Chains A and B, each alone.
Chain A
Amino acid sequence: MLPVLAQMTRQITEAVVAPSIHSMPGGIAIEPCSRTDAESCLHAHELQCERDLEQMAGQLVETQDLLLAMYDLTKATRSHLGVGEILRHLAREATRLVCVQGAVLCVGPTMVQYPEDLIDEYAVNMYIRIAEQRGEDLLLSAPHSALPEGITNLCLMPIQIRGGIRGALGLINREGGFTAPDLKLARAIAEQAGAHIEHAMLYQETLDQARLQTEMEVARRVQLQLLPHTRPRVSTLDIYAESRPALQVGGDFYDFVAKSDRSVMLILGDVSGKGVSAAMIMGMVRFAARSAARFLPDATPASILSRTNNDLYDDLTLLDSFTTAFVAQYEPDHGLMRYANAGHAPVIYRAPGGRAQMLEADGVPIGVLPISLSEDYTLAFAPGALLVITTDGFNEARDPDGTMFGYERLLEIVDEFADQPAQVIAYGLYGAIDGFTAGQTQEDDQTLIVIKGIA
């Protein structure tokens, strides 16, 4: 600080003294005058210079105070990072530096007063609106302006944050009224405050985002961990399954329960909503459905859905959630697939040599009604038959214009790839939606099971 001030003093001294020396000979030469005239002329000039010097020295002291105050403010604010903490600190510093009874600082809905509440929030908000409308700082003093009780004068400076007025600094009760240097200092503090608050907001946002990302990453890992790591081996089936979780994880899941080396039970579900809560509910539904499939005597797809609904209805009601689910059981002895569907779509079936078609559900999703409405149905499942179950992350995938992929395109892709192995059909479907969304962020989990009858 000090070298800077020393230099400023030098500059000001030069500015005041130098012109007076140079102008003297010129004045005398051009306008000849008597000795007395010249003396009084010189004297007047000296007085003028003294006045200028005094004024500049005053300005210098004022600037010095301002710089020191700003230095204090910056030094002390650097270590505070939360927005609330910053506001409290700035209000305290503003009170000290401008020598007022108290200060109020507000940003958005947050308002902080120092050293105590001197003015009510409603009044502050009203003054902010007035300052905003006038587009300038507000300076009010009694008795010219009607002020709340206990307040003799008030200065209110709107604070610019991120290009708009989103806050204000109010200084309350300056003994003897606000002077021009006070107002200059207050404006400088308000501008500094804006910068500090912006910085704190950015820091908070980065922190929140990092926290959310960590949570999401954990949910993602848990979700992927809960999916089967191997596909069941059934001699007459070609099976492929995959789940691509969205950045904001959803609640998709699938599972296989092997009944013997020839038969298998498959379950696919989609929990309503997204995020960590959907991922947690998914874990719960998966556990209930898997237990029912494994331990229910003479389990059929419909009895598994009914049992899962009974087990989870109350919990899902409390959580305002439901799960669509599709369960199928392969019965190689009869060459058929028995299935039940609790509100899940899309499920696509293609008979050998036929056209892909949607299999509509009959029952409502799990957790919607106290009783399950799903019944068992059967599909002929000879070699060449194809069953594709996906979650709505496929049909609801959107292109850059917002158009949804829809069911028709899914059916077309299934027909196009029907002669290929299950994995190629799955890649064909993923490739089609990736091409369609053209690199847009994946909004929802995309999960599928492809099952094909083989000889």
Chain B
Amino acid sequence: MALNTRSIGNVGVLDLHGRFDAHVAPAVIEWYGRLPAPQIVVNLVDVTFIDSSALAALAGGMKRCRQRDGDLRLCALQQPVRVIFELTRMHRAFEIFATEAEAVASFTR
């Protein structure tokens, strides 16, 4: 599974598409290990569905980053994905931004 990743300054940005599920999650966890800095923005603008394996992968990244005084932040959640975050209350665990620019900028505050 090839991931679409970029760097903006010290921040690693991950772009995901379509269904974010158990097929994608292992590659995301593997990607965390290759990041030089514990600052991640996951852009969910093109994600239409997210399952529990994917939520676990995001939570895993968030924990890894916070252990190293960084964070994993989310941006651009579509309505169906936002609903899943709200039902599982996972939105209480993450910092979520409307746009990628805001999410990236939040690291330099």
Q: Is the interface of A mostly helix, strand, loop or mixed?
A: loop
Q: Which residues of B contact A321 (CB under 8 A)?
A: 56
Does A362 lie within 8 Å of B89, measured CB to CB?
A: yes
Evaluate contact between A364 and B87: CB separation under 8 angstroms.
no
Over the window 338-382 of chain A, the binary record of Cβ atoms lying under 8 Å from chain B Cβ atoms (1 yes, 0 no) is 000011111000000000000011111101110001000000000
A273 engages B22 (CB within 8 Å): yes
**B92 pairs with A373, CB closer than 8 A:** yes
Chain B min CB distance to A272 (Å): 4
Tally of chain A residues near chain B (CB < 8 A): 26
Hey, what's the 0/1 contact readout for B81-109 against A, CB within 8 Å counting as 1?
A: 00000111110110000000000000000
- Which has the most chain A C-beta neighbours within 10 Å: B22, B52, B93? B52
Is the C-beta of A214 less than 8 angstroms from some C-beta in chain B? no
- B56, closest chain A residue (CB): A272
Tell me, yes or no, whether A317 is within 8 Å of chain B by CB.
yes
Known: A317-B63, A320-B29, A320-B56. A274 touches B89 (CB 8 A): no
Contacts of B90 in A (CB 8 A): 343, 364-365, 368
Q: Which residues in window 52-67 of B have CB below 8 A to A?
A: 52-53, 55-57, 59-60, 63
Residue from the list B22, B56, B93 in contact with A369, Cβ < 8 A: B93
A270 within 8 A of partner (CB): yes
Q: Does B51 contact A (CB under 8 A)?
A: yes
Cα distance A346–B89 in the bound complex, in angstroms:
12
**In the bound complex, do residue B57 and residue A320 qualify as a contact, i.e. CB atoms below 8 Å apart?**
yes
Residues of chain A from 368 to 408 with CB closer than 8 A to chain B in the complex: 368-369, 373, 392, 396
B87–A322 touching, CB < 8 Å: no
Residues of B within 8 A of A274 (CB): 22, 53
Known: A273-B56, A320-B60. A365 touches B51 (CB 8 A): no
Give which listed residue, B25, B51, B63, B88, contacts A343 with CB less than 8 A.
B88
Q: Which of chain B's residues 69-88 have a Cβ closer than 8 Å to chain A?
A: 86-88
A363-B92 Cα distance, complex, nearest whole Å: 8
A3-42 residues at the B interface, CB under 8 angstroms: none
> Contact check: which of B52, B60, B87, B93 meets A270 at CB < 8 Å?
B52
Main SS at interface, chain B: helix
The answer to whether A368 touches B93, judged by C-beta atoms less than 8 angstroms apart, is yes
Contact B87 A360 (CB under 8 A): yes
Which parts of B8-57 form the interface with A (CB within 8 Å)?
22, 25, 29, 51-53, 55-57
Asked whether, in the complex, the Cβ of B53 is within 8 Å of the Cβ of A273, the reply is yes
**Docked complex Cα distance between A360 and B52 (Å):** 17
Q: Which residues of B contact A367 (CB under 8 A)?
A: 59
Tell me the residues in window 296-318 of chain A with beta carbons closer than 8 Å to chain B beta carbons: 317
The answer on a CB contact under 8 Å between A363 and B89 is: yes
Residues from chain A with Cβ under 8 Å of B92 in the complex: 363-364, 373
Query: Of B25, B51, B53, B88, which one neighbours A324 at CB under 8 angstroms?
Result: B88
A364 in contact with B93 given A273-B22, A343-B88 (CB within 8 Å): yes
Nearest CB of A to B95, in Å: 13
A273/B88 in contact, CB under 8 A = no
Other than the given A272-B53, A344-B88, A368-B90, 6 more pairs (CB < 8 A) read: A274-B22, A320-B57, A345-B87, A346-B87, A365-B89, A368-B59
Show 29 A/B contacts (Cβ-Cβ < 8 Å), sorted by A.
A270-B52, A272-B52, A272-B53, A272-B55, A273-B22, A273-B25, A273-B52, A274-B22, A320-B29, A322-B55, A322-B59, A342-B89, A343-B87, A343-B88, A344-B88, A345-B87, A346-B87, A360-B87, A361-B87, A361-B88, A363-B89, A364-B89, A364-B90, A364-B92, A365-B88, A365-B89, A365-B90, A373-B92, A392-B52
Identify the B interface with A (CB < 8 A). Answer: 22, 25, 29, 51-53, 55-57, 59-60, 63, 86-90, 92-93
